[in-house]
Structure 1
Amino acid sequence: MSAKLARRDHRAAWLFLLPVTAVILLVAVWPLARTFYFSFTNAYLDDPSAYSIVGFDNFIEVVTDHSWWIAVKNTLVFTVISVAIETVLGLAIALLLNSAIPGRGLARAAILVPWAIPVVVATKMWEWMLNDQFGVINKILSGLGLVDHGIAWTASSSLIMGVVIFVDVWMTTPFMVLLILAGLQLISPEIFEAAEVDGIPAWKRFWSITLPMLRPAIGVAVLFRVLDALRMFDLAYVLAASNENVMTVSIYARDRLISFQELGVGSAASTWVFLLVALVAIIIIGVLRLDRATGA
């Protein structure tokens, strides 16, 4: 009887999974397969039906393009710096919101505001605020006597990457706060109370208790943010279009596909982006599993 019930549950599970599987195949696997196929052709976007197979020529063209490696460098710099800052800030803010402070509920709601604003809207908002002529940031700096004239934040090749990272940190730190705060709330308060009774100082409680128990939550948060940062497109593109100083691998693929109408080369670049993200995901997941195994 139990075996019959198990088979029935197995069939029911597959029936529930079939719609989800069909949707994934339709919106993810099929476009990915088409992109992978066109990456081996010399097709152009204006007439995708007229093409021939060129093998790995498109992949070679991408990796021998100087602009591609500039995009890779920009993407990695953006990812490492922004995710590191967001993780540190997210941890600090989560610890603050987890403590018994006045107005904690209001602060938790307010911290979500930057994350709730659409990326394009937030980017344009910061672009206006950073304008060298009428931007409020330059007005404040001039009023404080820190600058003599307005700074062209988004037009300066040496400042634009910092601006992109700053805006991303402002928008995405709340995401890290939410995930880390959820992990904090799973830790039993009795553990901290016992450690405090034993006379363990606050910094040691954080280093020896809080941080080790938060590692799974922090690891998941970092995984999601790294994968998202590696695919970053809208923030840099809205702020600086195809500026080489902040061009990411996604912007590079978009330019080859849309601006140059090169469906084959653009698909190859998109495939390289997919492989890069997949490789980083495998590495991070492997590190998380190893950490869990050694921690166990």
Structure 2
Amino acid sequence: MVDTAEASSESRARERARRQSRLQRYRNLQFSEEELAVILLTPVVSFLLAVSFYPIFDTVVGSLYTGYVLEINPREFVGLENYRSIYGSGPLLDQFLNGDGFWNALRVSLIYTFVSVPIELVLGLGLALLLNREFRGKYFAQAAILFPWAIPTVINARIWAWMFNGQYGVINDLLIRVGILQQPFPFLARPDTALYSMLFITIWKTSSFMALILLAGLQSIPDHLYEAARMDGASRVRQFWDITLPLLKPTLLVALIFRTLPAFQAFGLPFGLTGGGPASATTTLVLFDHQLTFNRLNFGEGAATATVITLIALAIAMVYVGTLYEPEVR
């Protein structure tokens, strides 16, 4: 018993000594690597929890209720009823191809995203390859191509709305002068051309953003790889396929994620250009969600739509990562 009491006393003494030693280190601002990591990560994680994860969690919870946010009607738990409401009724394929409301907005968003992003990627890669060469005025050209991307989206939308105007727009005037059109054409007033006009604008605006990201990736590829390939007699096309593209995959992944997710969640351009019209031809998912939530004050269905948008965006990001991410490239 005496030995056990003495051992217990010694153990408590050692624990007190460790605590005092730790407190002394903290007073002298001396931390272990693990402690320093916790200290540095805590503010970031707290910020993400407060600004990102809590709103997402609150939106998911709100999608299960009616009368969400504003208590216009008593708040009532309805389960998945809001999701059933935005889904509608009928076969899935028929809903996607011919449905209105949520399905029309999803169709517009997918067309807008997966038509514009590949074209932007090709144009951006071409611009990046040109800007990666040495020529006089190279740095001025690099700054100049960022001008379309630097214009705020809503301002850009209003500028192009004036240019595409069917009565006094510059685009119509130029096309009539060169003989392509005989009379003004209402590009933004017709459902069959409004979406194509919006695609043209977003490609013009964001191809330079793709070029900027890809240019950074090109400049990180060592020159000695190209020198060795030239010594082996490889053509420029062969160098591009065997050196440039494989080593550019991590940058392509970043560029595609950074561009695809904002394109799928587009709001400013359709809102400022056409307001979603004509006949909902340019209503994207986020714009539809905005109209549903703040124009119709249907917060439950708005939260359900926002949840679906988040899940689709997450799925797109996971497909990109699973397809393009190659740790061994690094």
TM-score, reference length from structure 1: 0.92
On the 8 A contact 2:62/2:68 being kept in 1, the answer is: no
Larger mean CA deviation between 167-176 and 80-89 belongs to 167-176
Any runs of at least 4 consecutive aligned residues in structure 1 with deviations exceeding 4 A, and if so which? 4-7
Q: Which residue does 1:223 correspond to in 2?
A: 257
* Cα separation, 1, equivalents of 2:62 and 2:236: 58
Q: Which residue of 1 aligns with 2:53?
A: 29
Inter-partner Cα distance in structure 2 for 1:193 and 1:200: 10
Of the three residues 82, 85, 89, the one matched with 2:123 is: 89
Identity of counterpart residues, as a percentage? 33
Query: Number of aligned pairs?
Result: 291
Letter in 2 for 1:40: L
Tell me, yes or no, if structure 1 residue 271 matches structure 2 residue 295.
Answer: no
Decide which moves more: 33-42 or 104-113: 33-42
1:211 to 1:288, Cα distance in 2 relative to 1, 3 A = closer
Equivalent residue in structure 1 for 2:62, among 17, 28, 38: 38
- Secondary structure of 1:158's aligned partner: helix
User: Could you say which residue in structure 2 is the equivalent of 1:210?
Assistant: 244
Task: Quote the offset at 1:102 in angstroms.
Answer: 2.0
Larger radius of gyration: 2
Pick closer, same or farther for the CA change 1:40–1:113 going to 2, 3 Å.
Answer: same
Paired position in structure 1 for 2:282: 246
1:105 paired residue among 139, 162, 166: 139
Structure 1 residue 204 displacement after superposition: 1.5
Pick from 146, 150, 175: which aligns with 1:141? Answer: 175
Asked whether 1:261 is paired with 2:297, we answer: yes
SS at match of 1:155: coil
Amino acid at match of 2:58: R
CA 1:49/1:29 → structure 2, altered by over 3 Å: closer, same or farther? farther
2:210 to 153, 172, 176: 176
CA distance in 1, matches of 2:78, 2:120: 43
Q: Following the alignment from structure 1 to structure 2, what is the Cα–Cα distance between the partners of residues 162 and 241? A: 15
* Higher RCO (CA < 8 A, seq sep 6+): 1
Aligned-pair CA distance for 1:255: 1.4
Q: What per-residue deviation string (whole Å, max 9, x for no partner) do you get for residues 64-120 of structure 1?
A: 273211111111111111100000001000000001122111100001111111000
1:71 and 2:105 aligned? yes
Residue 39 of structure 2 is aligned to residue 15 of structure 1: yes
Which runs of no fewer than 5 residues in structure 1 stay unpaired? Answer: none
Report if the CA contact (8 A) 1:40-1:55 is conserved: yes
Residues 161-215 of structure 1 deviation map (CA, whole Å, 9 limit, x = unaligned)? 1111111111111111111101100111122122223322221211222112212
Equivalent residue for 1:185, pick from 219, 224, 238: 219
Q: Is the 8 A contact 1:124 1:239 kept in 2?
A: yes
Residue of structure 2 in register with 1:236 after alignment:
270
Bigger shift: 240-249 or 262-271? 240-249
**Is the 1:44–1:261 contact (alpha carbons within 8 Å) kept by the matching residues of 2?**
no
Shift of 1:22: 2.1
Structure 1 48/288 Cα, relative in aligned 2: closer, same or farther at 3 Å? farther
**Structure 2: stretches of 5+ with no match in the other structure:** 1-21, 90-98
Per-residue deviation at 1:235?
A: 0.7
Distance of 2:72 and 2:58 partners within structure 1: 12
Partner secondary structure for residue 140 of structure 2: helix
Residue 160 in 1 paired to residue 194 in 2?
Answer: yes
Distance 2:193 2:283 in 1: 14
CA distance in 1, matches of 2:52, 2:249: 31
* Cα distance in 2, alignment partners of residues 257 and 9 from structure 1: 47
